[in-house]
Chain A
Amino acid sequence: MKKLKYNIFGLAALTLLVLSSCKKYLTTTLTDPKQSNVSYYKTPSDAFTSLVGCYNGLDLIWNGEAIPPLMEVFSDNCFGGTGASDGYGWEMLDEFNKVISPSDVAIHSGAWKNYYQAIYRCNVLLQNMDKVAWGDSTALRRQYIAEVRFIRAFCYFDLVRLFEKVPLLTIPTVANVPQAGPDSTYGQIMLDLRFAADSLPSAPYTSVPTGRVTKWAAESLLARVYLFYSGYYGKSAIGSETAATALAAVEDVIAHSGHALVTDFTTLWPAASLAKKVTYAGEANPEVVFSIKYSSTGDYNGNITGNGWMVMTGMREQSLYPYGYGWGGCTVDPNLVAQFDQSHDSRYFASITDIAGENLAFGKASANREYTGYYMKKYSPVCDSLNNPLPVNNYLVAQSQDYFAIRYSDVLLMAAELGSPNAVAYFNQVHQRAIPSATAATSVSKADILAERRLEFVGEGIRYWDLLRQGISTAASTIAANTTLSLINDGTGTQPSASTLQANITATRGFQQIPSDQITLSNGVLKQNPGW
C-alpha cells in the first residue's frame, strides 16, 4: 500500500509537470513565417508594401473577366465575337439579352469578386494607417492615403457604372451589406478623388515612376466621374463637385502636370507601331495620365501581374506578324470603320486591324463567330516575325502592355466639353495630331467632341460610357442604329431587329447583370438589375 501511495504521488507529480508545460506547449507564435494584421502595419515601409498590394489590386480586377474589351462589346463599336463553338455569353452581353445564354447567370462573378478584393485591400490599409509609426513622415502618410483612396475610387467607379447599385464598403466587413444607391457611391468616389487631388503634390508627372497615382490622375478621373454622373442622372452636382470644379481640375492638369500628346498617334500602340515600323513610344510616355501597369512576369502560380484580357481581342487562332493570335472577341462593326477618314486619319490604322486592307492571309474566319474582317488593334497581342506568340513564356497571362486608363487627349477633350475657354484649341490639338492635314476647327459643339471621342478612343473602353452618359434613350437608340444587325450570330438563328436591341438595352437601363451566385449567397439581400 505504501508502494502504491508512492507511485500515485509520482504519477501526480508527472501529471502536474506535463500540465504545467502544456500551456506553453499550445502557445503558438507565428512559426509559419507570416505576418498577421496584429504584427504588421508598424513601419512606413509596411505601409508602402501594403500600398503596392493595393496597386496589385488593379492588376487583379480584370483577371479572369476581360472587362475592357467588354466595355467595347456593350457599345456600338463591335460584336461579341469569340470562337465558333464557344458559349454565347459575349453575344448575350452585346445584345443585353439574357435569353441568348440563359445559363450565364453569373458571368460577371469573377470581376465582381476581384473588384471587392481590391477594395478590401484598400479598406484594410486605410483602417490600419494609424497603427503605423509615422514619426515625421506625415506627408508620406497623407500621400499613401491619397493613393489608396484613388484606387478605391477607380474600382467603385467601374462597379457603379457597370452595376449601378452596389454594396458600398469603406471599412472591411463580412456583413451582408445591401446595395447603396448610386448617389451614395458617387458621393464617396468624389470624396476620395477630391482628397487625392488635394493631397498629392503638384509636381510634374515625371516626379514619380509611371503607374503611381498623381494629383493629375485624380483630377482627371474626377472630371470623368462628374461627366458620367451628371450626364446619366441629369444632376449638376455631386456633393461639392460641380461642372466648375471638374473643369478647374482638368485645367489644372493641362496647366501644371507636364503631360502632353505624343506626336504620332500610332506610336502609342505596340502592335500598330510594329506594323507601321515606327518606334513605340513606350509605357512612360507623356500622354499617359494614369495607366494600369502590367508586366511579362505573370504566371499561373498566383502571380497576377500580366495583362490577361488582351488575348480575348487577338485574331482567332492565327498569328500574322505582328498580330498575335487570341480568341477573336470584339470583332469590329463595319459601321465603325465607316466613320473613319481612312486615308488621312492615323487613328484608323492604329485602332483597327483591317484583314483585307492590310492584305493579311487570315484563314480562320470560320472559326470566329461574328467575323467581320476587322479586329481591335490597340490591345492586340503581338507575335514575332515567325508568328510565335509573345511573350514566349506565356502569352495568355504574361502580356505586358499597360492599359492606358486616362490619356492626355481625354483630358483635353473633357476640358473642352466642360466649357473651357480654350475648348477649340484643345479640340484641335487632338484632332490635328490624328489628322495632321486637317484644317483647324474654329468652333466645337458637344456633338463634335463626342464624335471626335469615338474615333480617338476606339478599343479603349470609353465609347459605351460616352453613350450612356447621354442618357439611356440616346445610348440605346444610337447603339441599335449603328449596329450592323446582319452580322449578329447569337445562336438563335435569327438576328434581332434594331427595335428589339433598343428595347433590350432600355430594359436594363444600360447596366449589367448582378452575378447570381452573389445574390444567392446574400440570400436575396442583393437585388438583380431590371432586364436581367
Chain B
Amino acid sequence: MLEKKAKHRRAQPILLLLTLLLLNFQSFAQTADHKITGKVTDAASGQPVAGATITIQGRRNAVASNKDGVFSILAQKGETLEISSIGHVSKTILITTDAGSLNILLEQSAGKLDDVIVVGYGVQKSKAVTGATAHVKGEDLAKLNTTNALQALQGQAAGVNITSTSGQPGGGFKVNIRGAGTIGNANPLYVVDGVITSDITYLNPADIAAVDVLKDAASAAIYGINGANGVVLITTKTGKTGGKNAGQISFDGYYGYQNAPPKTKLLNAGQYATMQNEAALNSGLAPYFTQAQINALGKGTNWLDRMFASNVPVQNYNLSATGGSDASAYSLGLSYTQQGGIVGGEKISNYERYNFHTNAERKMYDGALKIGEHLTFSFINQYGILGAYNTQYGQEDGGIYGNTLRSAFATSPLLAMYDSAGNYLSSLKSTVYNGGPWNTQEANPYALMVYNSQNNTKTQKLFGDVYAELQPMKNLRLRTTLGLNYSSSANHSYLPVYDNLSIYAYNRYETINQGSSVSYTVNWDNTANYTFRIKDHSFDVLAGNATRKYQGSFVGGMNTGSTLFATFDRGYLSTSNVTSISMSADTSAANKQTVTHAMSLYGNANAVYAQASFFGRINYSYQDKYLASAIFRADGSTMFTPGRQWGYFPSLSVGWVLTNESFLAASRPWLNFLKLRASWGSNGNDGITAFNYLSLISLANAQYNFGGNNTSLTNGSYPSTIGVEKTKWETSRQTNIGIDAQLLSNKLNASIDLYNKVTKDWLVAAPLLATAGVSTNPYINGGNVTNKGVELQLAYNDRIGRDFSWSVSGSYAYNKNTVDNIPTADGIIHGGTNSLFVNAPEFFRASSGNPIGYFWGYKTAGLFQTEADVQAYAGKNGPLQPSAHPGDVKFVDLNGDGVIDGKDKTNVGDPNPHHIFGLRFAGNYKHFDLSITTNGVAGNKIVQSYRDLGAFGNWTTAILSRWHGQGTSNSMPRVTQNNSNWADFSDLYIHDGSYWRISNITLGYDFAKLAKLKNLSQFRLYIAAENLFTFTKYNGMDPEVGYSSTDASGVYSFGQGVDLGYYPRPRKTIVGVSIIF
C-alpha cells in the first residue's frame, strides 16, 4: 500500500522520504486498554485547560479535555500519553499503572501560536498570520519599568532598531523597522487602538496590553497609509467580557535613583597645562607654564563631575481596575510618572506625566450591537537643558551650538567653579595664569546651564476613539470608529540678567518667551467584515474606508527688558513692563540711541492635512493548511496636487502550515508547528511638507529699511519655495519569506524572516542648485533605497523540577542599507558643514552605492615618525605632504593622482548598525522571579568630536597617547595649536560603536501566597537596575548616540552616530511593589 502510494508520488521524492522515515517509527503492539482519567490545569494560573488534546503516542485515537479540564482515555500500562494544548508546552506521561487519575500541570509556552495578533481592522491568531509581524506582550514591556514604552521594546522585536535621541527625561526615540528607507523621517507609523499618531511618549507603558510590529509590506498594507516605514500597532488594556471574575484592582509603584554612567575622563589641570605647553612648542611658541606652575595647579575643575548630579529620583505609580460581565467590560487606569535629569539634577531638567486611561465596551440587543471607547488623557509637565533645535525630532541636545554638555568637555580644568564669595567665577576674573585669566573666551558651563535652562512646557493630550459595531447577522460585522488625537501645549522661558562669564557670555536684558499651540486630528474609519465557509474553504472579507484630517494653530511672543518680578516662575510676556531699551548705557554720549523693543508676536494656523483611503482585504484558509491574504488599498493625500493625490497599493501573502499536513502528523512530537510564509506588497508614504506643489509667498523676513530711521521697516514678500506639481506617493516594495516553527513539545519557538525592501519614487528634498533661487528644496520623486536583511526570533522555555521554570528569548537582525540612486546631478545629498565642530567640513553623505549617512573623509595610514618618513611618503609627483612634520597624520592618496585633495575622500565608516540583537532571560523559583534583559548593536561606527579646533579646549585622556617623539604613537597625532591634523575629516574621528547593554535586571518576590489574604493574588516586591553595564569598545559615556546631524540644506537629519557631547542614558536602581487584588 505504501509502496504503491509512493510510486504515485514520485514527483515528490522528499515527501516520500520523510513519510517513510516517520512512519517507520509506528508501533503496532496492542494489548488491553484501561480507562485513564485526568485533569489538565494551567500551571501559572491554576485554571483548568479546556480543549487540550490527549493522544497516546503511536496510536491514532485522541480525546479532548472538557471545560473543567477533565478527560478520560483508554490506554495501556507502559504507553505514553501526550498532552498538548496550544499556548502550552506539551507534556508526555508514561502510564505506570493500569488505571488511575492523573493531575497534569501544563506550562505556558513561549510559543505564540494562539496569541491574538492585531492586524489592522481586526485580529488574527498568530498561527494564521501570513506576514512578518512581531508581537510583544504589554507585561513584558511594563516589567522593565521604563518611562517610555519604546525603550522597553529595545531588543525585543527582531528588526526593530530603537535608539534614544537623548538621555534627558522625556527625550525621544528613533525607531527604524528593517533599516532606514529614507533620509527623511524613517520612523514608523503608530496606531494606538486604531488611531494614528506619530508619537507614543504620552502613554504609560503599564496601560499597554500588547505591541504588534508590522514589518513586511503585506502586514502593514491594511494600515498602510504612510506605512512605508512599518507600522507599530498598540493595544491598550481592556477588560474581558464574559469573565467570571467580578474585576481586579492592581497597583504598581516604584521609586528609585539615577546616576550617570562612568564619565568620560578629561585631563586634569596639570595634564592640561602640560599638553598646552607641548602644543605651544609644536607650534613654534614658548611654553605657557613652568614645571613649578604645573605642579601647583593640582587637579583643577572636573566639569563633567560638576554637570552630573547623583541620586536623581525617578518614580512611577499606577493604579488600575479591570473587569467585565457578559455584556460589558471596562478598564480604568490612573498613573503618575516623574523622572529627573542626571545633568544638573531634577531642578534643571525634569519630566512629569499624569495619565488617565479608560476603555469600555458594552454589548446591546443580544450582542448585535457593541459600543465602546478607548480614551487616554495625559498631562506632561517638563523642563530641561538647552539643546540645538532639530526640525525633525524637536528639541534635542547633541549639536555643537547651545549644547549644555558639550561645553563641559571643552572648558579648561583651570577655570574654577566659584569665586571667593561663592558666586560663579567669570573667566575674566580668574587668577590661575600668572595671576590673571587663562582664557577669557571660556565660560563656566554649569553657570550657563543654570541661566539658560529656565523653561517649562506643559502638554495636554486627549487620545482615543468611540466605536460602534453592528452585527446584523452572523458573520457580518459593520464597524464605525471616530477617533481624536488632540494635543495642546503651553510653554514659557526666562533668561535672567547675568554678568560676564567670559567676554562673550553675558546677558544685559531679561528675555521672556511664551507660546502655545494646539493641534487636533480627527479620523473616521468604517469597515464591513464578512466571514463565510464553503466546505473546507474559509474566507474573511473586509472592505472599508478611512478619512483623517489634521489641523492646528500656534501663537507665541518674546519680550526683552526688565521684568516686574525678575524670576522664571512669574516670567510671562505681560510681566515684562519695559518694551523699549536704550541702545547705549552711556546716555550722555553723542551716540545715544534708543530702540523701541516692541513685544514680538507670531502666530499662524497650520496647513490642513487630510487623507482618505479605501481598502479591501480577503483572507483565505483551506483547512488551516493553506493560507492566503490579498489586500488592495487606494490612498489620497492633500500633500499632492489635485490629480496626483491618489496612490494604489496592492499586496499579497501566502502561508503553508506544513504540520497540518498528514505526512507530517507523526513528526509532531518534536515538530509541533511549522509554517512557511511568503509575501509581497507595497506601501505608500506622503511625508512631505504641505503645498509642496505650490510656490508659496513668504510675507515674513523680507522687510527693508527705507529712509533715515534705523528701526522702521517696510513689509516685503518673496517666493520662498518652488512648486513641484509632479510629486506623487512614494512606494516601498517589500518581499518577505519567513518560517514560523515550534519544536520540542512547543518549548522552542522560532521565526526566521528574509526580506528585501526597496523604496521607490523616493520622496526626497533634493538639493537645488543655487541658481534655482530658494533655500528650501522642494520634494521630488526619484532615486531609491534598498534594505535587505535577515531576522531571527527565538524563545525557549522549560521547567526543572517542580519549582524552577525559566525561559530565554532572543532576537537578532541583520540589515544592509544601500542607497541606489539619488535624483540630483551629482547623485549626492550632502551632509552639513559646521556640524562636527565650528567650521567643520562636510563629513557624512547619502550617495549611490553607500549606506545612508555614511562617513565621508580621508583614510589615514598612521603617522609620520621622522622627517625622512615625510620625504618617503611620496606619490607620483614627489612627497604627498611636503609640509608635514613628524607626528602628523598620513592621508592616503586614494586615487593615486599624487595630490591629497577632496577626490581622495571616501566611505570611512557606516553609522548604521548591521547587527541588532537582544537576549532575555527570565526565571521563576518558587515565589522568586528574576529577569535579565540585554540588547545591543554591532557593525556601526561613531564619530566623536568634543572639541573645536581652537587652541585652548580641554581634551579627553585619549590625548595622553599622542605622538611625542619617534615611535610613541602611530594613531594619535601630535598636538598643535591649530589642530591641523583634525581640521579635515578623516578616519581619526571614527570609533567602533558596537555595544551589548545589560539594560535591565529585575529580582522580585511574591508574598501573596505567604500572606494568604482573601482576594490578594499578587503582592510582589522587586528591585531592578537599569543600564547596569554596557560592554563596548567605545570610550564615550554612551555608545547609543541618538543625535543626528543635519544635512547641508538643513532639511534632513540623517547624520547618525555623531557624538558631540551626548546626554547619556542614566543608570537606574529602583525598588517597587506590584499588588493585584
Contacts and interface: CB of A to CB of B under 8 A. Distances in A.
Interface in B560-606: 560, 581-586, 588-591, 593, 595, 597, 604-606
A525 interface: yes
B957 interface: no
A25 B703 CA distance: 37
Contacts of B711: 295-297, 400
Contacts of A521: 767-770, 824-826
Q: Which of A6, A280, A305 has the most CB of B within 10 A?
A: A305
Contacts of B715: 49, 52
B773 A322 contact: no
B705 A305 contact: yes
B703 A37 contact: no
A284 B826 contact: no
A18 interface: yes
Contacts of B723: 36-37
Contacts of B828: 520
Interface in A2-19: 3-4, 6-7, 11, 14-15, 18-19
B696 A35 contact: yes
Contacts of B591: 270, 274, 280, 322, 382, 384, 390
B545 A57 contact: no
B704 A55 contact: yes
B825 A525 contact: yes
A459 B604 CA distance: 43
Given A3-B473, A296-B711, A54 B718 contact: yes
Contacts of A201: none
Interface in A31-60: 31-38, 40, 46, 49-59
A25 B547 contact: yes
Interface stretch (B324-332, B637-645, B809-817): B637-645
A113 B714 CA distance: 24
A283 B560 CA distance: 27
B930 interface: no
Given A11-B478, A37-B723, A85-B978, A120 B774 contact: yes
B435 to A, nearest CB: 15
B93 interface: no
A419 interface: no
Nearest to A50: B717
A212 B705 CA distance: 10
B708 interface: yes
A211 B704 contact: yes
A305 B704 contact: yes
Nearest to B608: A31
Nearest to B551: A31
B590 A274 contact: yes
Interface string A362-400: 000000000000000000001011101011110000001
B1048 A385 contact: no
Contact of A18 (B526, B604, B826): B526
B718 A56 contact: yes
Given A14-B526, A212-B706, A32 B595 contact: no
B771 A169 contact: yes
B839 A26 contact: no
Interface stretch (A173-181, A230-238, A255-263): A173-181
A121 to B, nearest CB: 5
A123 interface: yes
Range, interface on chain A? 35 or more
B949 A85 contact: yes
A443 interface: no
A34 B696 contact: yes
A112 B768 CA distance: 13
B528 interface: yes
A304 B718 CA distance: 13
B703 A3 contact: no
Contacts of A15: 526, 543, 545
B585 A384 contact: yes
B707 A302 contact: no
Contacts of B526: 14-15, 18
A46 B611 CA distance: 33
A117 B702 CA distance: 12
Interface string A277-307: 1011011100000000111110001111100
Contacts of B582: 392
B798 to A, nearest CB: 50
Contacts of A211: 704-707
Interface string B608-623: 1011101000000000
B590 A520 contact: no
A55 B715 CA distance: 11
B508 A174 contact: no
B20 interface: no
Interface in A189-215: 209-212
Interface string B72-85: 00000000000000
Chain B interface SS verdict (over half): loop
B642 A27 contact: yes
Contact of A305 (B713, B718, B830): B713
Interface string B1033-1071: 000000000000000100000000000000000000000
A388 B608 contact: no
B422 interface: no
Contact of B722 (A35, A87, A174): A174
A11 B984 CA distance: 66
Nearest to A491: B978
B772 interface: yes
A33 B830 CA distance: 32
A489 to B, nearest CB: 11
Contacts of A18: 526, 545, 547
B590 A52 contact: no
A26 B826 contact: no
Contacts of B697: 34-37, 40, 50
A128 to B, nearest CB: 9
B866 to A, nearest CB: 19
A450 interface: no
Contacts of B610: 25-26, 28
A484 interface: no
B606 A32 contact: yes
B524 to A, nearest CB: 8
Interface in A402-452: none
A279 to B, nearest CB: 7
Contact of A112 (B605, B612, B770): B770
A295 B699 contact: no
Contact of A22 (B476, B612, B714): B612
A516 interface: yes
Contacts of A530: none
B983 interface: yes
A303 B702 CA distance: 7
Contacts of B637: 26
Contacts of B977: 85
Nearest to B690: A32
A370 B718 CA distance: 41
A174 B768 contact: yes
A500 interface: no
A392 B506 CA distance: 11
Contacts of B698: 34
Interface of A: 3-4, 6-7, 11, 14-15, 18-19, 22, 25-28, 30-38, 40, 46, 49-59, 85-87, 102-103, 105-106, 109, 112-113, 116-117, 119-121, 123-124, 167, 169, 172-174, 176-177, 209-212, 270, 273-274, 277, 279-280, 282-284, 293-297, 301-305, 317, 322, 382, 384-386, 388, 390-393, 400, 491-493, 515-518, 520-523, 525
17 contacts: A11-B528, A15-B545, A28-B610, A32-B608, A36-B695, A37-B696, A52-B703, A116-B771, A174-B722, A211-B704, A279-B590, A297-B713, A390-B583, A516-B902, A521-B767, A521-B768, A523-B827
Given A31-B551, A121-B718, 16 more contacts: A26-B636, A28-B638, A36-B697, A46-B717, A55-B706, A57-B718, A58-B704, A120-B719, A124-B719, A172-B773, A173-B772, A283-B710, A294-B705, A385-B584, A391-B583, A391-B595
